[in-house]
Amino acid sequence: MRIALLAFDGFDELELFILCGLLNRLGTHGWKAEITSLASQITSMSGVTVHAARPLEFANEADAVVFGSNTYARAMAENSALVDRFQLDPLRQLIAAQGSGSLMLGRLGLLAEMPACVDVHTKPWLNEAGVRVVKEPFHARGSVATSSGGLAAPYLAAWLMMRGAGKEATQQALQEAAPEGQKEPYVQQIMRTVRVFMPPQD
């Protein structure tokens, strides 16, 4: 599973690093989640600079794509030249967004009538685009998902892992990262939340 974690200047460190760390725990299963961006270096909202491993176009060939939130999300979603560089396909890719990254999903027409999870600052902009916002940490329909809140990243990671690697691998990855003394309830809460959004055969 090749995963493009789309991040741009002003990205949220919690979202990006938690998701990247959890997904790459499935490296022995052939998974590789990589920071993907417009530039070779990007700086977070708190001033942390990281190197991107992949150029933007990697998103079009990856098995899964996640748009992270960032300070300039609205301007980016209104940038037609940037939007046109994405050729995503929900029939062959899992596509998701964290927080304000949902603005790009909306612009790409991937939300359709599906509700989205976003922060209170982004909600008015999605409402303007006709997207219904739900006050939940995670929501998915088919191959498209959204989550909101940096600490909601494990829900999105669990959804991706469940869809691509199954229940056992997902639980193992979450167990490794879960807080000591709370592993079982922590993992079960995430699994219960995500399980209702799995396809019937799962």
What CATH number has the domain bearing residue 141? Answer: 3.40.50.880
pLDDT of residue 124: 86
Identify whether 201 is part of a domain: no
Give domain status of residue 200, yes or no.
no
What Å distances lie between residue 166 and 23, 63, 163, 172, 191, CA to CA? 13, 16, 6, 10, 11
6's enclosing H/E stretch is strand 2-6
- pLDDT above 90: percentage of residues in the chain: 85
Q: What is the spatial distance between Cα 43 and Cα 139, in angstroms, rounded to a whole number?
A: 28
Q: What is the pLDDT of residue 149?
A: 87
Domains contained in the chain, number: 1
> Is residue 185 included in any domain, yes or no?
yes
CB atoms within 10 A of CB 4: 28
pLDDT digit string (tens) for 134-186? Answer: 899 999 999 999 999 889 999 999 999 999 999 999 999 999 999 999 999 99
pTM score > 0.75 for this model? Answer: yes
Structural domain of 92:
2-195
Establish if 137 belongs to a structural domain: yes
- Asked whether residue 163 is domain-assigned, the answer is yes
Is 191 part of any domain? yes
What's the distance, Cα to Cα, between the start and end of the chain in Å? 18
Q: Would you say residue 202 lies in a domain?
A: no
Does 102 reside within a domain? yes
Q: Using one digit for the tens of pLDDT, what is the confidence trace for 116-140?
A: 998 888 888 888 878 888 899 999 9
Q: What is the pLDDT of residue 89?
A: 97
